[in-house]
Amino acid sequence: AVEETLPPVGVHGMGHKIRRKEDMRFLVGKGTYVDDIKLPNMVYLAFVRSPYAHARIKKINVEKAKSIPGVIDIITGEELEKAGLAWIPTLMGDKMMVLPTEKVVFQGQEVVAVIAEDKYAAWDAVNQIEVDYEPLEPVIDPKKALEPNSPIVRPDKNSNLVFRWEAGNKELTEKIFKEADIVVSQDFYYQRLHVAYMEPVGCIAHYDPVSGKLTLWMTTQAPHVVRTVFSLVTKIPENKIRIISPDIGGGFGGKVYVYPGYVVAAYAAIKLGRPVKWINTRSEDMKSTAFARDFHIHGELAAKKDGTILGLRIKVISDHGAFYGDANPSKFPAGLFSICTGAYDIKAAYVEVTGAYTNKPAGGIAYRCSFRVTEAAYTIERLVDILAHELGMDPAELRLKNFIPPEKFPYKSALGWTYDSGNYPAALKKAMEKIGYYELRKEQEEKRKRGELMGIGISTFVEIVGAGPADLFDIVGIKMFESAEIRIHPTGKVIARFGTRAQGQGHETTYAQIISEILGIPVEDIIIEEGDTDTCPYGLGTYASRSTPTAGAAAAVSARKILDKAKKIAAHLLEAREEDIVFEKGKFYVKGYPDKYKTIQEVALAAYTNPPPNIEAGLEAVTYYNPPNMTFPFGAYICVVDIDKGTGQVKVRRFVAVDDCGNIINPVIVDGQIMGALTMGFGTSFMEEIRYDENGNIFGGSFAEYLIPTAVETPKWELDKTVTPSPHHPLGAKGVGESATVGSPAAFVNAVVDALWHLGVKHIDMPIWPWKVWKVLREKGVA
Ligand code: MCN
């Protein structure tokens, strides 16, 4: 048992199941999160928040609040406007209010900031500030928001249209639909979700007036990008801003944003000359930070009688709340919704996505997974199941018939993506075998005869990760690449620094494994650092399952650069020609003479003390890696459910997940990622939804009402893999962090509908709460 808690030692490369190096400090309570940091003389920031979704601000009275002992300052939008900080750019090209001057645009929006000696005085003052509002008609339904007579959400816009994108060949798709034997269609609502990380958003801002340096400890997934935004907004030179992202208690995409609290804290720290701490409460987080999903989807699939899929047509309206923070799609069609043709060889497809502003917090953002991939995978996988049922075909057989054949890779999809590699039949067949698919179908038939409700749901999804090729993506104008700097010190110990920032993904272990694999250095001798803009090379951050495809690749390239130099030094030490040097398991030797060797540690020492003539001292490398393409992980999931007719309760009896993320760095970490993401998919499918009433009031706003899965509800996951390496990644790896959240909801919903199809049930929107199922059963006369 003691051994199991010890950090790993030795050389551990690709595929080694080592325990996570970072876990020891978390297990013994020694992680450092923003709220653990206390600076001398620190003061606290709290916000007055809007009770209305849409209202004009008539007057703000702060007199009573000012007189509360301990209150230091009260900051309004007007003051920030004078400082040029009332609005800030979102990472992706829109702009966002820091504090409003004219009107509030969602319930829970920050309106006035209070700075006090302690958080209790700050909250007392928040309760004493009187804001006189004139309620305005709220815009809640995104479809109505796009109607010409709708009230306008934003004071700086004259329409609620965020964007309208299309992808694919509309005419060809129409023609194919006309020629098809069968067209199935369905409306889906992919509900709004809270990014339920454990640690709420927050920061500490510190300003040193002597050096002019602003330091922010921040729960951010993208510290360098935030620094650039801060520099652009505040005009403070970028080298005088330091963002430190300490341990993060989960991010899941919700901590990519620049939140108003960061800006107000920085402004106040400069103004007051004291460090300022701002930490959201959980319910503040639920009401005001970036939300996910909220997509109204109409999908249609055209096919031949024999089940050959011919065309796909999808129309989407996405609700972005009051500000749009999603990725800039200019170079890729229809955002990543264009991955909606999935694993299938579909001739023609057309997708249209329209974004609307509404009086809700900013939404539709990256949340395991980003940029509409989750919704796209859900849509195609639901439609394929509906088609199978309409045709009376087995959903597995229909999929096998329509998969992109393995020999067609690299495969150009109808919507323009070039999938790097894939073998979808292998994954599905493995899942079918593992779960005993055909036996389950027999069991289902027998149960159905007895009136019992059992369903089998399949999802064979394709993910698109690794943002990204610099010509496809940019954030605030910065083309996307990723960095890795590896430095071997004279004693052979390594510090490697990255532009990414883990929030629980285990980078300290997996990056060390990549370096250990290539350089043969024990993992305990490799320290991985991320999340400090003063020390780490510039990077775009951790989201979109991009760390392995981009930073992992950068680490491999840097390690190989080091190896090239080390070979030259070894040749010098061994008095041999460089081309005769062999490197194996951390040792350099002359071909044919493995017993006479120099270790990488000896070579490192020589790199500093005795470098060969014409070679610079030192042993280090930095790489800014621009991936040639995205990576396309995939998987086949099969879920078995039993439904209780009396209560509508769905019990997930089994769930088999076969994932393929190419070559695996650490199988334990990958399984952990998949289990976590499956659990999120389970929560999405059966439990979670953020809802608003017609006035824009949030229902609940705490974990008392917003239910996430606990260990009690979570099914036992049965995991397996196929391995189809990415041909363009230096290690053949693909990202995996989000795959199971992308793939699993369709498997759950397909299973529920499969159990009920014979009763005439075609679809139930997520979350599939028991009462929804019970209501349907009641309508069908079964319950
Ligand atoms: N990995 C591996 N072999 C592969 C692929 C990945 O060993 N072939 C390992 C990686 O080295 C890394 C982990 O698996 O340690 C996840 O890698 P990757 O898929 O590259 O994803 P990122 O590290 O970029 O993490 C982002 C992804 C996303 S987008 C969200 S959202 C998410 C997620 O990861 N948020 C998380 N997983 C999370 N896990 C935790 N605990 N907390 C979050 O906030």
Ligand 1 atom at minimal distance to the Cα of residue 670: 14
- Residue 105: pLDDT over 80: yes
N-to-C CA span, the chain: 50
Is-contact 368 737, C-beta < 8 A?
A: yes
Residue 337 and residue 462 in one domain: yes
- Indicate which residue's Cα is closest to atom 2 of ligand 1: 665
Confidence at 365, pLDDT banded by 50, 70, 90: low
Res. 55: pLDDT tops 80: yes
Residue 672 has what pLDDT?
97
pLDDT attached to residue 329: 53
Residue 421 confidence (pLDDT) above 80: yes
**ipTM value for the complex:** 0.99
Mean pLDDT of 598-627: 97
* C-alpha of residue 342 to centroid of ligand 1, in Å: 21
Q: Ligand 1: which of 193, 221, 505 to mutate, judged by most atoms within 8 Å of the beta carbon?
A: 505
In one-letter notation, the amino acid at residue 310 is L
Is the distance from CB of 381 to CB of 750 less than 8 angstroms? yes
Q: Does the pLDDT at position 173 exceed 70?
A: yes
Mean pLDDT, rounded, for 585-603: 97
369 is catalytic: yes
Q: For residue 735, how far is its CA from the centre of ligand 1 (angstroms)?
A: 7
Pocket of ligand 1 (CB under 6 A): 197, 250-253, 368, 503-507, 510, 542-548, 552, 661-662, 664-666, 669-670, 673, 676, 733-738
- Ligand 1 centre from 222 Cα, in Å? 14
Q: Residue 133's pLDDT is what?
A: 98
**CA 730 – CA 549 distance, rounded (Å):** 9
Cα dihedral sign, 601-604-608-609: positive
Please report the atom of ligand 1 found closest to the CA of residue 667. Answer: 7
Q: Where does the pLDDT of residue 370 fall: very low under 50, low under 70, confident under 90, or very high at 90 and above? A: low
Same domain, residue pair 420 and 521: no
Give residue 38's pLDDT: 97
Same domain, 377 and 454: yes
Nearest CA residue ID for atom 37, ligand 1? 737
Average pLDDT over residues 471-487: 88
Choice from 16, 545, 674 to test ligand 1 binding pocket (greatest atom count within 8 A of CB): 545
Cα–Cα distances in angstroms (integers) from residue 639 to residues 343, 390, 646, 746, 752, in the given order: 18, 20, 22, 10, 9
Q: Binning pLDDT at 50, 70 and 90, where does residue 336 land?
A: confident
Instruction: Give percent above pLDDT 70 in the chain.
Output: 98
Q: Does one domain contain both 298 and 284? A: no
Which residues, in sequence order, are bridge partners of residue 474? 479
Q: Closest ligand 1 atom, CA of 547? A: 24
Q: Are residues 550 and 620 in the same domain?
A: yes
Task: Compute, in angstroms, the gap from residue 54 CA to the centroid of ligand 1.
Answer: 38
Q: Whose CA is nearest to atom 9 of ligand 1?
A: 670
Sign of CA dihedral 734, 740, 746, 750: positive
Q: Both 312 and 455 in a single domain? A: yes
- Domain check: are 342 and 211 in the same one? no
Our measurement of the distance from residue 710's CA atom to the centroid of its chain's CA atoms, rounded to an integer in Å, reads: 21
pLDDT average, residue stretch 125-135: 98
pLDDT at 154: 96
Residue 4: pLDDT band with limits 50, 70, 90: low
Give the residue from 592, 608, 625 where a domain finishes. 625
Given this model, what pLDDT does residue 467 score?
80
Q: Two tokens at 699? A: 């229902």
- Give mean pLDDT, residues 167-178: 97
Determine the atom of ligand 1 nearest the C-alpha atom of 665: 7
410 found inside a domain: yes
Residues whose CB falls within 8 Å of the CB of residue 179, separated by 6 or more in sequence, listed in order = 310
- Rounded to whole angstroms, how far apart are CA atoms 250 and 243? 18
Determine the structural domain holding residue 607 and report its residue range: 482-625
Closest ligand 1 atom number to CA of residue 676: 39
Concatenated DSSP letters of 302-355: EE-TTS-EEEEEEEEEEE-TTS--S---TTSTTGGGGGTTTTB--SEEEEEEEE
Model confidence pLDDT, tens digit, residues 642-680: 999 999 999 999 999 999 999 999 999 999 999 999 999
Where does a domain end: 571, 600, 625?
625
* Protein residue whose Cα sits closest to atom 36 of ligand 1: 252
Examine the domain organization and report whether 588 and 674 are in the same domain.
Answer: no
Q: Are residues 600 and 488 in the same domain?
A: yes
Catalytic (active site) residue 221: yes
**Predicted local distance difference test score (pLDDT) of residue 331:** 63
Closest ligand 1 atom to the C-alpha of 549?
20
Q: What is the pLDDT of residue 330?
A: 54
What single string gives the DSSP state of each residue in 365-409? B-SSS-TTHHHHHHHHHHHHHHHHHHHT--HHHHHHHHBPPGGG-
Confidence at 473, pLDDT banded by 50, 70, 90: confident
What is the C-alpha to C-alpha distance for residues 163 and 317, in angstroms, rounded to an integer? 10
**pLDDT above 90: residue 152:** yes
Per-residue pLDDT band at 363 (split at 50, 70, 90): confident
pLDDT at 328: 56
- Per-residue confidence (pLDDT) for residue 476, from 0 to 100: 77
pLDDT, position 367: 83
Look at residue 259 and tell me whether its pLDDT is greater than 60.
yes
Residue 717 CA to ligand 1 centre (angstroms): 18
User: Considering the domain boundaries, does residue 15 fall inside one?
Assistant: no
368 as an active site residue: the answer is: yes
User: Does the structure show a pLDDT above 70 at 574?
Assistant: yes
681 vs 659: CA distance, rounded Å = 15
Q: Are 719 and 674 in contact (CB under 8 A)?
A: yes
Res 540 pLDDT > 70? yes
The mean of the pLDDT values for the chain is: 95
Which CATH number goes with the domain that contains 128? 3.90.1170.50
Q: Which atom of ligand 1 is nearest to the CA of 500?
A: 24
Is residue 492 within 8 Å of residue 521, measured between CB atoms? yes
Domain-located, residue 181: no
Task: Write out the E strands in 711-762.
Answer: 717-721
How many domains does one find in the chain?
A: 3
Tell me: pLDDT of 326 over 80: no
- 26, 201, 548, 729: residue to mutate for ligand 1 pocket, most atoms within 8 A of CB: 548
Between vectors from CA 497 to CA 493 and to CA 501, what angle results, nearest 5°? 135
How many angstroms separate the alpha carbon of residue 254 from the centre of ligand 1?
15
Assigned domain for 393 exists: yes
Which residue's alpha carbon is nearest to atom 40 within ligand 1? 504
- Within a domain: 720: yes
CB atoms within 10 A of CB 430: 18
Choice among 368, 372, 382, 497 that is catalytic = 368
Atom of ligand 1 nearest to the CA of 252: 31
Q: 711 and 645, same structural domain?
A: yes
What kind and span of H or E run contains 611? none
- The Å distance, Cα 550 to ligand 1 centre, comes to 12
Report the C-alpha gap between 96 and 200 in whole angstroms.
20
Residue 648 shares a structural domain with residue 529:
no
Return the pLDDT at 1: 57
Centre of ligand 1 from the C-alpha of residue 458, in Å? 24
For a substitution probing ligand 1, which of 736, 741, 742 has the most ligand atoms within 8 Å of its CB? 736
Q: Are residues 298 and 379 in the same domain?
A: yes
607 has pLDDT over 60: yes
pLDDT above 80 (res 253): yes
- The residue among 476 and 617 whose pLDDT is bigger is 617
Atom 35, ligand 1: which residue's CA is nearest? 252
Kindly name the residue from 107, 221, 601, 673 that is annotated as catalytic. 221
Q: Ligand 1, from 528, 547, 660: best to mutate by most atoms within 8 Å of Cβ?
A: 547
Does residue 20 belong to any structural domain of this protein?
A: no
pLDDT digits 0-9 by tens, 382-410: 999 999 999 999 999 999 999 999 999 99
Among this protein's residues, is 444 annotated catalytic?
A: no
Contact assessment for residue 377 and residue 344, using Cβ atoms and an 8 Å cutoff: no
**pLDDT band at residue 380 using 50, 70 and 90 as cut-offs:** very high
Would you say 544 and 225 are in contact if contact means Cβ atoms under 8 Å apart? no
Query: How confident is the model at residue 282, as a pLDDT?
Result: 92
Please indicate, yes or no, if residue 41 is contained in any of the structural domains: yes
Long-range contacts of 400-407 (CB under 8 A, 24+ apart): 400/425, 400/428, 400/429, 401/306, 401/307, 401/308, 402/307, 402/308, 402/309, 402/344, 402/345, 402/346, 403/343, 403/344, 403/345, 403/428, 403/460, 404/343, 404/344, 404/345, 405/345
pLDDT category at 334 given cuts 50, 70, 90 is confident
Q: How far is the CA of 548 from the centre of ligand 1 (A)?
A: 8
767 Cα–ligand 1 center, Å: 25
Residue 220 has pLDDT above 80, yes or no: yes
Options 203, 369, 536, 661, the catalytic residue: 369
Give the active site residue among 79, 375, 688, 738: 738
Residue minimizing CA distance to atom 13 of ligand 1: 505
Q: Is residue 176 assigned to a domain? A: no
Which CATH number does the domain housing residue 616 bear?
Answer: 3.30.365.10
Residue 472 carries which side chain, given as an amino acid letter? Answer: L
Of the candidates 239, 272, 288, which is a domain's last residue?
A: 288
For range 185-197, the mean pLDDT: 95
